Amino acid sequence: MSRLSERPERAVVGEQLPHESAALHVTGHALYTDDLVQRTPRVLHAHPVCSPHAHAHVTDLRVGPAYGVAGVVRVLTAADVPGVNDAGVKNDEPLFPDEVMFVGHAVCWVLGETAEAARLGAAAVEVDYEPLPSLVGLREAIAAHSFQGGQPTVERGDVEGGISGSAHVFSGVTEMAGQEHFYLETHCSLAQVDEAGQVFVQSSTQHPTETQEIVAHVLGVPSHAVTVQCLRMGGGFGGKEMQPHGFAAVAALGSTLTGRPVRLRLSRQQDMTMTGKRHGFHAEWRVGFDAEGRLQALDATLTSDGGWSLDLSEPVLARALCHVDNAYWIPHVRVHGRVARTHKTSQTAFRGFGGPQGMLVIEDVLGRCAPLLGLDPGELRRRNFYVDGQDTPYGMPVRHAHRLVNAWDQLHASAEVARRQQEVAAFNAEHPHTKRGLAVTPVKFGISFNFTAFNQAGALVHVYKDGSVLVNHGGTEMGQGLHTKMIQVAATALGVPLERVRLAPTRTDKVPNTSATAASSGADLNGGAVKDACDQILERLEQVRAGRDLGWEELVREAYFARVQLWAAGFYRTEGLHWDSTVMRGHPFKYFAYGVAAAEVEVEGFTGGYTTRRVDIVHDVGDSLSPLVDLGQIEGGFVQGAGWLTLEDLRWDESDGAGRGRLTTQAASTYKLPAFSEMPAVFNVSVLEDAHEDGVVYGSKAVGEPPLMLAFSVREALRQAVTAFAPGVSRLAPLAPQPPVSVELASPATPEAVWWALEQARAGGQQPVAGAPGVEPEQPDADRPLLRPRSEHAGVVPAGQQSREGD
């Protein structure tokens, strides 16, 4: 066991503690960025002037009328930028554009004495546009060959040989929509300049260092002239990894020009219409199975909807390609990736970072192909699990693959899956208009940034003369409990009570050059850095102790008078990583997190309405640093995943009318989020037993993103329930060979989408087409993607239900 992962006997890590700010949260005393405005005098408020066009040239911008509005102080335009007029890291996101690329694109910002004055001033600005052709839907962009960035490929083996040698071959199209982050706290920045010209920005950001860099290059100053602090965020989910930078830069520019603090906070409608979301994906695939249902080959092209600029679309796509296999061994693989350019918000990071989209492809493939293979979907999944000694398509060994089997078996036993399958079958036999479905799905998710350089972290630990401890690290707190874990790590490493440790807000002038708090790696990276700093201090203190029996406070006091350094800067880098993005091969992840979920749903046949009756989860968190925090992450991740897959239906106006490109679901009234009514009546969560992870801080594992993909079980349970409406499906023997009824289910599987799937199931599943068995399927058309088998039972040829991008 490594020194990093070894736990002392009386460790604070592993204790079931509440979130360190829980009391502040529930009493309303927790401060967020916008709360600081009330404590800051003479604040100016910023409001955007947004484009009504999806794509247009700005031919004239007249700001004069805004100055006629009482309370307007300044209008910020491109002419005011002393540095670089760009808010991104790819030099493709002008802060003040002369060509607008989506509805809601800000062309300038108005500063006012009040938020209302700024709003009225923005309404007074006159802008002339020359409308240009636009691409709104992902299919439109694919048809127009509108792509941006690299087009990588993950490849192993002989795909064509694997396909031709397969007993069963199917092809199809899988589409999935994006997702709005809908964090409780919208984007917010508060900037001010001191007497020396130093810029201080309070920002709701997951990546303070990159916010600092963008603000600095917009202002044309070095990074040391800008300090960014993040107190805490009211949610982030990836949406505050890249997107805050431009807003912070606008606030900083306004403060620099006026000499007054500037507050920029988006309303909910502005946040939804101006900021990026989870990438929607379109995937075309061919898959081959042997006679026993084992995967032989997969050939797929994944196209993500990147929106108007690259943002993080390339690494999101890379992670999607690296997770198409999910938990399954596929000998021959070829997966192409492309990023489409559309005239919508620039889509960005979202919990899972492309992994969920890639994994959904193979889960959809297995869910649709299982009945055509005559296999229970659960058995098909289990039959194709990785085993120890096998590698991923990008060449990384799948370590601890047996843990996935352990989790699968643990869940089947604890959730009594076999017994409940019989109960579901009996219920379905007795209820012609209501059916239930029970599905079990696995998760294998790689932990670390794909970009190796990001896998580093720093920390600063101070021990004061009275023995109290102050910790500052490079991670940000967005409600996920990172600060709670870091306090526990420091208390454990130093051997002091929890109450002796306090954590300071994240600031770029305390810990520099930090990576984003993302990729589920916040505790791994920053925990390693905090422990390193504590170990340095302890090593010095042990020299002072010299074998004597001294209490903590006495030891610290003696060390001070002996002129021994009582603070340390810690550093951690994840070892063993390497990645070549040019060939998409290497060892990009420290380890894999595993999990299994079983979901039971009930579908009403007249409307497609449904409820989730029960969910059981077994998840691999290693040796948990903070069990209550991890439990919350597992439950929250699952619910957010279920929202993406079943409820949250982003829609843009794709008509040719005046509203083309407008986000039509721009508020909670039109964008349905998971609520208490969507929670399962029974929700059981347990952790995988005997799952210590060596080489990670105190043997723990990441827990932020992997649980989101456990929600695949809900989507597959819906498919099972819908299939039960098909004529001729045996109700009392669910594991017996069934008529080949393959049902395509849209994502999100809203009640409307489920109703259409029901219509398909009642018609006997996907419909036969002309053509002899063994003939390769024709290319699916844009309106009706087809899943067509080339196998012995090719007489049943499933035809896909229409699934439009954005529906």
Cα R_g (the chain), whole angstroms: 27
Spatial separation of the C-alpha atoms in residues 85 and 210, rounded to whole Å: 16
Contacts of 19 (CB under 8 A, 6+ apart): 25, 479, 481, 484, 628, 629, 632
Tell me the C-alpha distance between 461 and 530, whole Å.
7
What are the structure tokens assigned to 20, written together? 């360190």
**Bridge partners, residue 718, by sequence:** none
- Residue 397 CA: distances (Å) to CA of 11, 299, 389, 449, 588: 32, 21, 7, 17, 11
For β-strands 262-265 and 199-203, DSSP reports them as unpaired
> Please, where are the H alpha helices in 78-224?
115-124, 138-143, 159-164, 208-219
Peptide bond before 706: cis, by omega within 30 degrees of 0?
no
Alpha helix (H) residue ranges in 275-416? 313-322, 355-373, 377-383, 402-414
Q: Helices (H) and strands (E) in the chain — how many of each?
A: 18, 28
CA-based nearest residue to 472, from 88, 463, 196, 424: 463
Report, as residue numbers or ranges, the catalytic residues: 705
For residues 587 and 296, give the distance between their C-alpha atoms in angstroms, rounded to a whole number: 23
C-alpha triplet 67, 68, 71: angle, nearest 5°: 70
The residues near 363 (Cβ < 8 Å, ≥ 6 apart) are 326, 441, 712, 715, 716
CA atoms within 13 A on the CB side of 253: 33
Query: Structure tokens of 440?
Result: 């079990």
Q: 93-115 b/e with 16+ CB inside 10 Å = b?
A: bbbbbebbbbbbbbbbbbbbbeb
Dist CA 263 CA 247 (whole Å): 10
HSE on the CB side for 59, CA within 13 Å?
A: 6
Interatomic CA distance for residues 647 and 203, integer angstroms? 30
Burial of 431 (0-12, 13-18, 19+ CB in 10 A): middle
Instruction: Tell me, rounded to whole angstroms, the distance of Cα 500 from its chain centroid.
Output: 34
DSSP-based helix, strand, coil % in the chain, nearest 5:
30, 25, 45
Contact 481, 632 (CB under 8 A): yes
Sequence-separated (6 or more) residues with CB below 8 Å from residue 552: 467, 494, 495, 496, 500
How far, in Å, CA of 473 to CA of 364, rounded?
40
CA distance 577 to 93: 31
**Contact yes or no for 533/501 (Cβ under 8 A):** no
For residues 279 and 316, the answer to whether their CB atoms sit within 8 Å is: yes
Maximum Cα–Cα distance across the chain: 90
Answer whether 515's CB lies under 8 Å from 525's CB. yes
Cβ atoms of 531 and 493 closer than 8 Å: yes
Closest by alpha carbon to 640, among 131, 179, 24? 179
Residues with Cβ within 8 Å of 270's Cβ and at least 6 positions away in sequence, in order, are 48, 50, 104, 186
Q: How many residues does the chain have?
A: 807
